[in-house]
Chains A and B, each alone.
Chain A
C-alpha cells in the first residue's frame, strides 16, 4: 500500500499524505504495537471499571467449568460439553448448508428459467430476514407444525441462513474454472454431472476454501443465537453457569476465548489445506 502512486490524489498540499507517514503506520511492527496498546487499554479499562464497581473477581472458580482433575484423569466440565454441542450443531448445519447451497448454485447455473427463478427467490427471501426472526419462524411456527424439537429447528435455521452465502461462494468457485475445461470435458463426451464431479468441482475447491473457512467461522459464531431458545450449547451453558455463580465477567470472557480458540484453530488448519490444494495446479 505504501508503494501506491499518489498521482490519483487531489492536488493541494493539505490533502497530500507524506508517504513516510503512511509507511510508518502501515508497517507490521507499528500495527502490532497499536493493536496491543488498544487491547491493553480495553482490558485495563474493564478491570479498573470492575474494580470501581466493587466487582469480586473469582477466576479460581472458572477452571472447574472447563475441566477437573480426578483420580481417573481429566474430566471435562460443563463448558466443554457446551462446546461439544456447539461444534456438533455447527458441523451438522454446515453440511446441510453446503448441500442446500450446492443445489441453489446448480439451479442458478443450470440456465433453466424456472430453476434460476426459484434459486433467486430463495436467496432474496433468506437475505432479507434477520437470523433471529428466521430462528423464531423455525421454532415457533414450523416447529409445532412439523414437530421439530429445538435442536432440529436450530440446525435447520443455521443451515438455511448460511446456505445463501455458501451458494454464492460455490457459484463463484465454479465460475472461476476456465471455460476451456468445460469444452474439453464435453468434447470427450462427459455428461454435465460427470463434468461437475470429475473436472469442475475438484478445481473449484482451491477458489472456495478461503471464503468457505470464513463462512464456517461465521456459522460457529452465529450458532450462539440458538441460546435464545435454550439449546444447551456453549453460550447457553455460560449463561446457566452465571445464573448459578454470578461470575458474569469471568464466564463471558472465558466463553469468548473458547469461541476464539476454536475459530483460530480452524483457520490455521485450513491454511494448511490450502497449501495442499495449491500444489500442482
Chain B
C-alpha cells in the first residue's frame, strides 16, 4: 500500500511560540499512502506538528517539504499546499450558517472552481461515503457530534486531497459516537490516501497504522511499526504512557 516516496519530510524542525519551544529538532518522514498515528501526552506538540504540515502554523528553523512544496511563512504556494492537504479538527469547525450540503460544496466551488452541479454530485458522493446522505439539507447544529465530525471528514474528502490530517477527531465526542467516526476513517484506509492521525484510540491505531509516533515535550521520542511499538517500545516514557492509556 505504501510506496517509499516521501510525501511529508521534516528535517531538524524547530517551532517556538514566543519563548516557548513547542517542537524540538523534529525529524520525520511520511511516505505516500502511509498511515501514521501520533500519540503523546497533552501539550507534547502533536497538534503543532500536524498544523505545520498544512501551513496553519509555521516552523522557525529546519526544513519541511510537503507534497513537493517547501513550507515556510510567506511562501507563495501555501494555498496550493492547503488544497492538497485536508484537515479534520477536534472541534469539527463546520460552517454553522451553511447546510451540510453547502458545507461540502463551498470548497469545490470557490476553491476548485467546480460548477454547482458537479460540486453537488461530489458532495453527495462523499456524504454517502460517510453514511449520512439523509442529512444533506440540515444545518450542522441539528446533527449529533458524531454526525458533525463525519460531515467534517466529508468536507475534507470533497477537496479530493492526497493527504489528510486528523487532530484528535474523536476527543470531543461522546463515547457512543466514537466508533461511527473511527469506522469511517478505517474505510478511508483502502483509498490509498496518506493519513496522519493524532489520536489515543489505540484499537484504531493497531488496525490501521503503518507507523506509530510517540511525542513528548516537543520531541519525537519513538517512531516505529505498531508490532514493535506496542510490544517492545524502545523508550521507557513511551511504555509508561501506553500502560496508562491501555488500562482504560
Residues on A facing B (Cβ under 8 Å) = 178, 180-181, 183-191, 194, 198-199, 202-203, 280-281
Contacts and interface: CB of A to CB of B under 8 A. Distances in A.
B89 A190 contact: no
Contact of B159 (A181, A183, A188, A281): A188
B96 interface: yes
Interface in B71-98: 79-80, 82-83, 85-87, 89, 91, 93-97
B93 A188 contact: no
Interface centre among B79, B91, B95, B156 (most CB of A within 10 A): B95
B107 A189 contact: yes
A58 to B, nearest CB: 55
A188 B155 contact: yes
B56 interface: yes
Contacts of A189: 79-80, 82-83, 107, 111, 159
Interface string B198-234: 0000000000000000000000000000000000000
B82 A186 contact: yes
B62 to A, nearest CB: 22
A187 B97 contact: no
Interface residues of B, number: 28
A281 B111 contact: no
Interface of A is mostly: helix
B89 A183 contact: yes
A189 B112 CA distance: 9
A180 B93 contact: yes
Contacts of B142: 280
Interface in B149-195: 152, 155-156, 159
B82 A203 contact: no
Contacts of A198: 106, 110
A189 B83 CA distance: 5
Contacts of B107: 188-190
A180 B79 CA distance: 17
A143 to B, nearest CB: 44
B56 A184 contact: no
Given A183-B56, A188-B82, 18 more contacts: A180-B91, A184-B94, A186-B56, A187-B54, A187-B86, A187-B87, A187-B156, A188-B83, A188-B106, A188-B107, A188-B111, A189-B111, A189-B159, A190-B110, A198-B110, A199-B95, A203-B95, A203-B96
B78 to A, nearest CB: 9
B141 A281 contact: yes
Contact of A202 (B82, B89, B97, B111): B97
Contacts of A281: 96-97, 141
B82 A184 contact: no
A184 B93 contact: yes
A190 B87 CA distance: 13
A194 B141 CA distance: 23
Interface string B27-56: 000000000000000000000000000111
Top 3 A-B pairs, shortest CB-CB distance:
A189-B83, A184-B93, A188-B107
17 contacts: A180-B91, A180-B93, A181-B95, A183-B87, A183-B93, A184-B94, A187-B82, A187-B85, A188-B86, A189-B80, A189-B83, A189-B107, A190-B110, A198-B106, A203-B97, A280-B139, A280-B142
Contacts of A202: 97
Contacts of A183: 56, 87, 89, 93
Nearest to A277: B97
Nearest to B103: A184
Contacts of A188: 82-83, 86, 106-107, 111, 155-156, 159
Nearest to A206: B97
Contact of A194 (B93, B110, B159): B110
Interface in B117-166: 139, 141-142, 152, 155-156, 159
Contacts of A199: 95
